[in-house]
Chains A and B, each alone.
Chain A
């Protein structure tokens, strides 16, 4: 076919991993570990979670065995690709005091690993694009992030098995893949066998695809792939209210609903840790025992931490009410002002990993209802 789409089988997937490894890449993909499907370095197709799915609910994540042996029939796990592109803790520079007391500052220039990410979901592909915008799209570029990002090879996999906490359709991020991938796969399992429709999205992707045992995409596989993705769109577990969320957040800053959610929120920050776009960090300065060597580290930080908004006069956001509001209004609203898009991709991780099951879609619906109620009161 003119678009160069091809079909590979499970063996082709093994070859894909082998080709990427042979090109010197660290291949990271989903694998079963500690009762979850995590993202970790994989060395072959055997590491993929064939036959595993997940059962998701607010505050709940369970692995479940599947009968069909699919590799990618699971939705987001506890990690996202930011763990690799924007790691939880990283040294930025070091400062040494020489014999004359002068400071010598040295930027950390650890060579960026050459990653290949296998199994990037459409929602997560968008999340990577959002972090690109935050960390490299402004006046200042984060050089370490850019180094890792520019070298990364992204193998997206379209979503055919959304979870009960997924809402990518209402965020416009899935289940079909958007731009930004090197290769995109769609897993098809039917009477004709277990296979993957593959498209290249870059020259590098084309080069890798050319090394795989493949056949030209047939109509049956194309149709099956399209149907499975279209069905997935109809099986979203959740959805955001169909309103302009940026405006809803802007108009809800004094909503009573924040008190309701504050009564449940533990301000643990889990939602920010699992969110694929949350980028906030704290600077940490350390010295060694000589006192002449200091290092600047940065580590992930959460806006749910009371010290996040520290000022000499006390924290700006002291109440849990204000801290949940900061997170939600940033994610769904002010992110547009700051970075030109939503900060939410609808992956549902924050719902799953909230220990008390707070659901951002439910909160948005409640805020929308509260606003509608206020509007009705305002118009006789």
Chain B
């Protein structure tokens, strides 16, 4: 897959001051179905394409939450319904939730890291009884950066914390790992799914291992710059991994030794 397929923006929901969720529909042909944790390369006309995880599984539609942090993400964030984009995918490894049947599920998100985890939570909620207890722990820097607030409010066992509360914040304050004490899970029988900034991933996964969660049952979604997503451009290397191919979701057992080396 080297050539992207045309899609149209059919909906744009403002999430935060710099983040919006775009819903895309294929103009003619649709890409193959995506799994939670996989990503698409979404192209802003003439500007470029970036990897964006799917944040919902919805038939032929693609849903991506994009935060304006650079030229391409800024151009995508600025799109309005009716605008045209072009998309390649699906790429990368997914969360592989199916392998966690019978286990307690611990979902830990930092900031926009909740976006790729959302379809995983929806998949788990849609299959009651298939898994053990579900805990969703969400951290953000500030209250105004919390994603999908209305939807998260409807999730059972979702806990939220912020680093810097504002005057109206009545919830938890502190880094996301402080929520672990309030989550009900049996560490040896838990599958964990983590996405967020790398320091948050390191701290959370490290704490979970400390509490007895198997590093092979902790999956983390990692970020590196990507240009091709087909394993040919070399940008997304993390030691032996090509994250477009071997990631973005990898087990903590695999990721840990790599993330512990500075500037690898």
By secondary structure, the B interface counts as loop
What is the bound-complex CA distance between A92 and B49, given in angstroms?
A: 14
Query: Quick one: closest A residue to B238, CB to CB?
Result: A316
In the complex, which residues 1-39 of chain B have their Cβ closer than 8 Å to any Cβ of chain A? 1-6, 27
Q: With the chains together, A319 CA to B262 CA distance in Å?
A: 10
B235 touches which one: A280, A291, A319 (CB < 8 A)?
A: A280
**Residue contact A102 to B230, C-beta cutoff 8 Å:** no
Of residues B45, B83, B245, which shows the largest number of chain A Cβ atoms within 10 Å of its Cβ? Answer: B45
Contact code string B242-264 (vs A, CB < 8 Å = 1, else 0): 10010000000000000001111
Inter-chain contacts of B4 with A (CB < 8 A): 93, 105
If A97-B84, A313-B197, A337-B241 are given as contacts, then 9 extra A-B residue pairs at C-beta distance below 8 Å, sorted by A number, are: A103-B27, A103-B85, A105-B3, A105-B5, A138-B245, A142-B230, A253-B261, A283-B233, A319-B263
B165 within 8 A of A: no
CB of A254 closer than 8 Å to a CB of B: yes
Q: Which residue of the partner chain B has the closest CB to A280?
A: B234
A95–B82 Cα distance when bound, in Å, is: 17
A282 contacts partner chain B, Cβ-Cβ < 8 Å = yes
Cα A311 to Cα B67 with chains together (Å): 13
Query: Could you say which residues of chain A place their CB within 8 Å of the CB of B83?
Result: 101
From A56-64, A301-309, A346-354, give the one contacting chain B.
A301-309
Chain A contacts to B: CB under 8 angstroms: 92-93, 95, 97, 101-107, 134-135, 138-140, 142-143, 253-254, 279-283, 285-287, 291, 294, 298, 301, 303, 308-313, 316-319, 321-322, 326, 329-330, 333-334, 337-338
Contact between A301 and B84 (Cβ–Cβ < 8 Å)? Answer: no
Cβ of B262 and Cβ of A322 under 8 Å apart? yes
The reply to whether A140 and B224 form a contact with Cβ atoms under 8 Å apart is no
Instruction: Provide the residues of chain B in CB contact with A313, threshold 8 Å.
Output: 197
- The answer to whether B233 and A140 touch across the interface, beta carbons within 8 angstroms, is no
Q: Could you tell me the distance between the alpha carbons of A294 and B233 in the complex, rounded to whole angstroms?
A: 20
CB atoms of A283 and B6 under 8 A apart: no
Chain A residue with minimal CB distance to B43? A95
Interface residue tally for chain B (C-beta within 8 Å): 42
B227 in the interface, Cβ–Cβ < 8 Å? yes
Residues of A within 8 A of B233 (CB): 280-283, 298, 301
B173 at the interface (CB under 8 A from A): no
Is the pair A311, B228 in contact by a Cβ cutoff of 8 Å? no
Cβ contacts A to B, 24 pairs, < 8 Å? A93-B3, A102-B6, A103-B45, A103-B84, A105-B4, A105-B5, A138-B245, A139-B230, A140-B230, A142-B232, A253-B239, A254-B261, A280-B234, A281-B227, A285-B47, A298-B227, A309-B224, A309-B235, A317-B263, A319-B263, A329-B239, A334-B240, A337-B241, A338-B241
In the complex, how many angstroms separate the beta carbon of B13 from the nearest chain A beta carbon? 22
Q: Does chain A have a CB within 8 A of B69?
A: yes
B71, closest chain A residue (CB): A285
Does B225 belong to the interface (CB within 8 Å)? yes
Q: Which of B174-204 contact A (CB under 8 A)?
A: 197
Could you tell me the distance between the alpha carbons of A318 and B263 in the complex, rounded to whole angstroms? 7
On chain A, the residues within 8 Å of B223 by CB distance are 311
Which residues of chain B are near A279, meaning CB under 8 Å? Answer: 232, 234
Which residue in chain B gives the minimum CB-CB distance to A313?
B197
Which residues from B are CB-within-8-Å of A287? 45-46
Measured between beta carbons, the chain B residues less than 8 angstroms from A309 are: 224-225, 235
Known: A103-B45, A287-B46. A310 touches B2 (CB 8 A): no
Q: How far is the CB of A49 from chain B (nearest CB, A)?
A: 33
Q: Which chain A residues lie closer than 8 Å to B230 at the CB level? A: 138-140, 142
Inter-chain contacts of B197 with A (CB < 8 A) = 313
